[in-house]
Structure 1
């Protein structure tokens, strides 16, 4: 029995490229670097009985960097970090992180009271509380039958 080896197959080269050169050649670079998460910060949204809670992971910012605006249909959260001034005498040996701006918008329902939205930035997480409108039910009415 003779073993025949084919060298023309692209599969071994693909596997070799992945292990030697990484995924960057095959996947968009932004996804594999910190740029992806600084331009698209991850968000968790939780609904409680009284409010919707948005947790936006945005480390490296200060509370002054954020801008939050809301209307009856949407809430927009954005942040911009100014680049630090470089000292011309310093040589950058390696730079793996930098801060960029981001902007995310979320649709909101009529149940959200836009006048009672609160936000707090703590330990790299922006916590936005979207309070629900209070359900004021009319008092029961007695209907007189004529």
Structure 2
């Protein structure tokens, strides 16, 4: 009978082992593989969100799309931004046909505040960045009323 020893523990036994694994290219064990691919940012585009007194501003980094590829929908609780692009490249040579299909898409949803006015949402796509403006509702407060103490 042959005994086989496996030494594949999920984490190294010491800090030195962890550092050695990272330096020897073992980072894939600790970081999700999707993050290390070129398609990570096309399936999970980074978003910056800024709040101003008048609106919330969302900047979505999405290069390689056109404005027709985007679909934005909003209700009273969430806004969903998605994009889908299908392209086909065809090169013909002598007795050889080569086709490459390219497909990229993403979908991100964000919970929105009840301060957002659905009628004041607009979007613009420029230089690979989708800029979505979520206008806030106007807070109409009554003018302060002075109360006289008697």
Equivalent in the alignment of 2:39: 35
Equivalents in 1 of 2:132, 2:123: separation in Å? 4
Equivalents in 1 of 2:114, 2:20: separation in Å? 55
Equivalents in 2 of 1:50, 1:123: separation in Å? 25
TM-score (structure 1 length as normaliser) = 0.73
Equivalent in the alignment of 1:103: 107
Equivalents in 1 of 2:127, 2:55: separation in Å? 22
Aligned-CA RMSD value: 3.2
Q: 1:72 aligns with which of 72, 76, 80?
A: 76
Task: Tell me the number of residue pairs that the alignment of Structure 1 and Structure 2 aligns.
Answer: 128
Q: Does the 8 Å contact 2:21/2:27 carry over to 1?
A: no
> 1:13/1:138 Cα in 2 relative to 1: closer, same or farther (>3 Å)?
closer
Question: Higher helix proportion, which one?
Answer: 1
Query: Highest relative contact order (Cα 8 Å, sep 6+), 1 or 2?
Result: 1
Structure 1: unaligned runs, 5 residues or longer: 1-9
TM-score (structure 2 length as normaliser) = 0.71
